[in-house]
Amino acid sequence: MPSRDGPAIQDEENSRVGMRRARRSTSPMKTASPRPCSSTSAAADTTLSEPVRRLSETSQELIDGIGEVQKRELAPEGVTFNAIPSVASGDSVGVWPTKGQKRPFDSEGEHSSKRRRPSESESRLSKKNLKRLQRDLERLERRTPEEMDPSVTAPSRAKKRTASRQPSSSDLNQDTASVRSQKSAVSNSVYRYHTLEQARIYVRPEPPPSNIQTRMDIVFKLELPEERKREISRVAQETSQQFILNLRGAHREDDLVELVHDAFRVMYKDQTFAFVRKADWDPSLKPAAQRKLWDLNAIPQFNNEAYDVVDHPDKRQQGEQFIPTPNISASTMPPPATNSKFKDDSIKTPRPDFTIGLRDSSITNALMERGLTKFKADDFLKFLQSERKLCSDPTQNFLNVRFPVLVIEGKAYATGKTIFEAQNQAAVSGACMVNLREQLHDIFHGISANHKDEKTPLAFSICTEGPQIEFWVHYALSEDNVRSHYMNVFRTCYGSLQGGLEEFLMDVDRLLKWTKDEMLNEIADQLYILASRAERE
């Protein structure tokens, strides 16, 4: 084959390239159809269209460069290529330097560093590379006008993203805590004014009625020896100082409730009383559902045309029923609403923070003083308990605390729990203590009508919220053969103030002294008569 010189070969190659470029200009490469932009302003469209056009031109240059690389692979060794200007921008693309010449740097944009030479697989014109280019175009279309604007720096975009950030976990926790607190307040009020009142348990933050106050005066007007008063004064001083120290930090519920409990333990060391901590009580002591006074079925139905109401009593009983729609099948509809009825399990079983009652040994010793042997005195209480005749020990674990007279229900000062909830819990505990005493009276009066006592038993509770202390009395009244339980407050104090705390502790001391001297003797007399009657020959 005749040899041709270098310029001739170069002219021939340039002419071929020009013809190829002319054909490509008449039939442009297909690109991915742009997606509709969310922005409606003309400025945003212009900002987006310019980079898209620039990227399209770059893709055309990339294809030209790939063709030149393929030509170079087929050309004989030692043949050099001149720079081929791009159709769109006129820059040199797809041109390799002559032998011994250094590769030029890319001068476009801010990055002028030396770029990595594409590998053979990246340089070839293939479907994979075209799909990659199409993904780049689609990614560019999704960018916002701020991201496309070169005048907006990266720190500015970061600030905008920070300003519009999603709520943090701490924000969500605060919102959740607020919602939880609101729900707790609503549920506590519903429990008091609906659930408890259905069981006829009423919390009355007011002084007790005059007949109950008269009986309380017998207990709380007992005279205390001067030595005992000085001892209680020292206990009050130490307890108030401990309250002050604990209130300087966010202490837990037990840290504050136990201060009251410890004061009682210091005051009474003669082992007459049992102090039981957080024991579940027997649910059988809870007030049972009372007989309904009214029969709505006896009231005839009527039509009230003035209010466009038909069968009004039936509609009230049905309540707010679900109205089916054509799109909801019968299988997905909820069942119709039923009438609201009181259930025993709707009242929470008591679990006081502290239960204070007579020790089992105190009852046994009192029965032994009246003539029973130790074995019979102890066995009789257990027999009544096992036969469910008298649950003198209200705890489910049989912790040997008999006939409790006082419970303590406390809430923490810095955790969102309120004394309102403590009062709800104490209301049920107080009703159970009254029912326990009523069980003994009912059994005793059944065999001894001559000793019938019309006085209702009294029980007491202490509700605390941090340093706030309330003293409550519990009793039951019957009217129209319906029994109702009541709870009234009669003393309040603040634990960090020694004067009020001292008067409160003296009242507790009077109550426990009356329990030891009067209540224990009354219970022991009744149990002795029952044991004597039930003893087999």
Hey, where are the domains in the chain?
6-157, 184-282+351-534
pTM of the model: 0.61
- State yes or no: pLDDT of 400 exceeds 90: no
Q: Is residue 335 very low, low, confident or very high in pLDDT (cuts 50, 70, 90)? A: very low
pLDDT of residue 444: 87
pLDDT of residue 331: 43
- State yes or no: pLDDT of 276 exceeds 50: yes
- State yes or no: pLDDT of 519 exceeds 60: yes
Q: Are 531 and 380 in contact (CB under 8 A)?
A: yes
Q: Strands, E, within 317-374: which ranges? A: 354-359
Lowest mean pLDDT among 185-189, 469-473, 491-495: 185-189
pLDDT of residue 482: 87
Q: What's the start-to-end Cα distance of the chain, in Å?
A: 143
Q: Which of 30-44, 113-127, 347-361 has the highest mean pLDDT?
A: 347-361
Residue 207 has what DSSP assignment?
Answer: P
Give the amino acid at 281: W
Mean pLDDT within 167-180: 53
pLDDT of residue 373: 93
Query: Could you tell me what percent of the chain has a pLDDT over 90?
Result: 40
pLDDT of residue 166: 57
Write down the number of H helices and E strands in the chain.
Answer: 17, 9
Mean pLDDT within 162-178: 53
Contacts of 343 (CB under 8 A, 6+ apart): 289
Report d(CA 65, CA 85) in Å as an integer: 10
Contacts of 289 (CB under 8 A, 6+ apart): 199, 342, 343, 344
Name the residue with higher pLDDT: 82 or 62. Answer: 62
pLDDT of residue 346: 82
Name the residue with higher pLDDT: 338 or 519. Answer: 519
Name the residue with higher pLDDT: 270 or 477. Answer: 477
One-character DSSP codes across 328-360: S-GGGSPPPPPPP---GGGSPPP--SEEEEEEH
Element (H, E) at 130: helix 127-141
pLDDT of residue 119: 61
Q: Is 353 helix (H, G, I), strand (E, B) or coil?
A: coil
pLDDT of residue 133: 82
Q: pLDDT of 245-256, one tens digit each?
A: 988 877 677 788
Name the residue with higher pLDDT: 396 or 344. Answer: 396
Report d(CA 494, CA 499) in Å as an integer: 9
pLDDT of residue 250: 73
Report d(CA 220, CA 17) in Å as an integer: 115
pLDDT of residue 344: 46
Lowest mean pLDDT among 63-77, 258-272, 314-328, 516-530: 314-328
